[in-house]
Chains A and B, each alone.
Chain A
């Protein structure tokens, strides 16, 4: 799973040498395995308001070891900083500085999670300043954490309870090994919609999910993860990738649909297949994507057009069919794979970045259209992920690229899949129109 350098410097002599030389010291990340405990130790809930109390009692009901006050020297699995009642920047000091005293007691792969309110809803400049301050605070703190620990934040829109299903869902996601490669990120909970799963190990039980581009890499991993979480999976890829697709379908006990998603009738074919074979359609994961890299000065129409056609135009057309279908109306979920290239830009990828930026714009604008049916749509933007594609990057470039994030290593396809599986779950119903980066807090592209 982890790269050779990470294995070398995470123990023994290698660790000592790396420390003395000031080299990056990535550690193997704690990744979710069914049956594992949610966190690696006690959870400290910091904050004095009623929101903090409510959250603490919700966590107690998950049978976690919840602390309201730190015990010095006791290793902590997580610190949850509840900052939902800030009225001005001065309000940050006390809870933040109290939490600071616990940072040296974090276990490896621990979690720091802020819960605060969205600055866009602030009633005045001081409130907005305090709320926006959390953003800078969390992102900086995440960069200070070591040993696989991550820092992420949950932003509540006005009117959303601190114990809404999606707040708790996001909290569970961030605490767990499912968010191993998500670092320095915020998830905004827009509403009280969504519901907690009956079985936390099978949050997608009874759901029928379609994954495009599922023959290999991240798509195949998404299919496996959705299956593990209880979904029945339809895997889709171009006919030419049909042999690998069949292998994935057989592995996840699903069905294979060989289909070029850029075909005019792709959406209809996907709906028909899911409904005819599996009786329903709950989740569509737009993962299929291609790259045709070229500096813009050398770009030709073929390269430009094919990337736009597959990466964004096809998603738009399929979504139109989904939105029009009576079979996609029971808390439907769409999750698209975007890219950090679409956020930060990437030399040689003007076409790809345009398409992935397009995905994020599409997601934001589609969210209100799905809300009527209790649906949601979100995007996940992977950073450097260890795949067949990135394995082809020349050694030195690859080595630099995979260290350029707070966790100092590349992510796994499964890390992207975990984020998608969460956003596809009932618990994420109150999260829509969002882009979640799975990049280990990549240092470029903010």
Chain B
């Protein structure tokens, strides 16, 4: 139930303009379909697969599903969060390794875990503007094949050595090296400005919003149960192509139970005083995988005899000041969603499917708690009271990241393709197209959210 639907005065100061969203001269950008490879827990089936391998595999399956061999796509955009410097042209290289026309342009994009959704929004905008007629959005990540950098000390020495002209200069530079400089610098999920890992950050937020262990475990349990049921129903038959022997996400535990989840020991927030609640069961593990989405104008889809599942209606990004503790690291969607819905004249009640990325069960539950909180509504959203609550039976109905896993940049593509299929199957609700909301939180205190509508 949403309390304040019609207008949200405080929202306007953070909204660029209150112009109506449906600008008539823009054409529709539609989701034709998607393809991803099953997500694998890090160190599992895709240990030896590079980002380029996986992104190419996901593209291959998409091309096969929609008969895009030799097709010149308007533009392909994808990205990876953990990226080797040699992969500066990752997406273009994947395109060149695929059956698409070699004349298909591509670019890389990086916005932490929101990468995948942002590629969809950016390309959809180009389609709406008429700049391109077709596009493939996507993302890939491998925590198994992560880049390892040399230490700053060694890096500086190596660069200086390169510039040195004489032997004495070189010897002098080499003498600066210390044993600790030889230790490699592996990537981690820590925030550079706080030094805290993402999990520790979320633990602070989870505690702040008093989210119980049981509520988190229940969300995780539902995620596994819903995802398993979706697989059994064949929901993923036209959304996924097996890879390296996997035909389901390897993190999925179809037989998990509340009892099993309750036995897991907390892994984050153990120093917060209060009882720690975040476990390996209600937090997403590091995962490898790739996802792609085929977008098009309606005309292009029709001319190619391809389905039109859903329209990409609108999107919004937000960021929070987590550095000074004003808001939790992963709370940006709590601001982005009210802004996006207000711009489109919608409330939480107008949404038929909520796809809230489960970075941690605590992230989803903290966001929902903030929306239900009077004070948060008043002081942070500038509303007369609480923003509203959602019908939980509409949340992540075919599972989400807690069960599927979360290869950072691939999650957006996974959600968009799945949601578009659900919306198309639902069709009309109360005489209007079924509507879905996507919310993805991201490192750096960011969040990207979007609305899709059934076609």
Contact = CB atoms under 8 A, between A and B. Distances in A.
B61 A242 contact: yes
A277 interface: yes
A254 interface: yes
A181 to B, nearest CB: 30
A259 B234 CA distance: 9
A255 interface: yes
B60 interface: yes
Contacts, number: 64
Nearest to A248: B64
A253 B66 CA distance: 10
B37 to A, nearest CB: 8
Interface in A227-251: 239-243, 245-247, 249-250
Interface in B368-390: none
Nearest to A239: B237
Interface string B183-201: 0000000000000000000
A254 B307 contact: no
Given A250-B99, A278-B305, A239 B69 contact: no
Interface string B412-447: 000000000000000000000000000000000000
A7 B399 CA distance: 56
Contact of A242 (B69, B99, B241, B305): B241
Contact of B64 (A255, A278, A279): A255
B241 A276 contact: no
A250 B69 contact: yes
A240 B305 contact: no
Interface residues of B, number: 23
Interface string B52-68: 00000100110111110
A446 to B, nearest CB: 42
Contact of B65 (A253, A255, A263): A255
Contacts of A253: 67, 69-70
Q: Which of A243, A255, A278 has the most CB of B within 10 A?
A: A243
Contacts of B306: 277
Nearest to B60: A246
Interface string A257-290: 1111001000000000000111100000000000
Interface in B283-307: 305-307
Interface residues of A, number: 23
A243 B69 contact: no
Interface in B136-189: none
A256 interface: yes
A243 B234 contact: no
B90 interface: no
A255 B69 CA distance: 9
B93 interface: no
A241 B242 contact: yes
B242 A242 contact: yes
Given A253-B69, A258-B238, A242 B247 contact: yes
B243 interface: yes
Given A255-B65, A263-B234, A246 B241 contact: yes
Given A250-B99, A258-B237, A277 B305 contact: yes
A277 B301 CA distance: 10
Given A250-B99, A276-B307, A239 B64 contact: no
Contacts of A241: 242
A400 B236 CA distance: 44
Given A258-B237, A258-B238, A245 B64 contact: yes
B67 A258 contact: no
Nearest to B239: A258
Contacts of B307: 276
A212 B307 CA distance: 22
Given A240-B247, A250-B60, A250-B99, A255 B241 contact: no
Interface in A15-49: none
A313 B61 CA distance: 29
A278 B236 CA distance: 23
B78 interface: no
B454 interface: no
Given A245-B64, A254-B67, A276 B243 contact: no
A332 to B, nearest CB: 20
A247 B241 CA distance: 11
A52 B238 CA distance: 55
Nearest to A232: B67
Contacts of B237: 239, 258-259
A241 B237 CA distance: 11
B240 interface: yes
B215 to A, nearest CB: 34
Contact of A258 (B63, B70, B99, B241): B241
Contacts of A242: 61, 240-242, 247
A250 B241 CA distance: 13
B234 A246 contact: no
The 3 closest A-B pairs by CB, nearest first: A246-B64, A249-B64, A256-B64
25 contacts: A239-B236, A239-B242, A242-B240, A242-B241, A242-B242, A243-B57, A243-B242, A243-B243, A246-B60, A246-B61, A246-B63, A246-B64, A246-B65, A249-B64, A249-B67, A250-B63, A255-B67, A256-B61, A256-B65, A256-B241, A258-B241, A276-B305, A276-B307, A277-B66, A277-B67
Interface of A: 239-243, 245-247, 249-250, 253-260, 263, 276-279
Given A239-B236, A258-B241, 20 more contacts: A239-B237, A239-B240, A240-B242, A241-B242, A242-B61, A243-B241, A246-B60, A246-B61, A246-B63, A246-B64, A250-B63, A253-B69, A255-B64, A255-B65, A256-B65, A256-B241, A276-B305, A277-B66, A277-B305, A279-B305
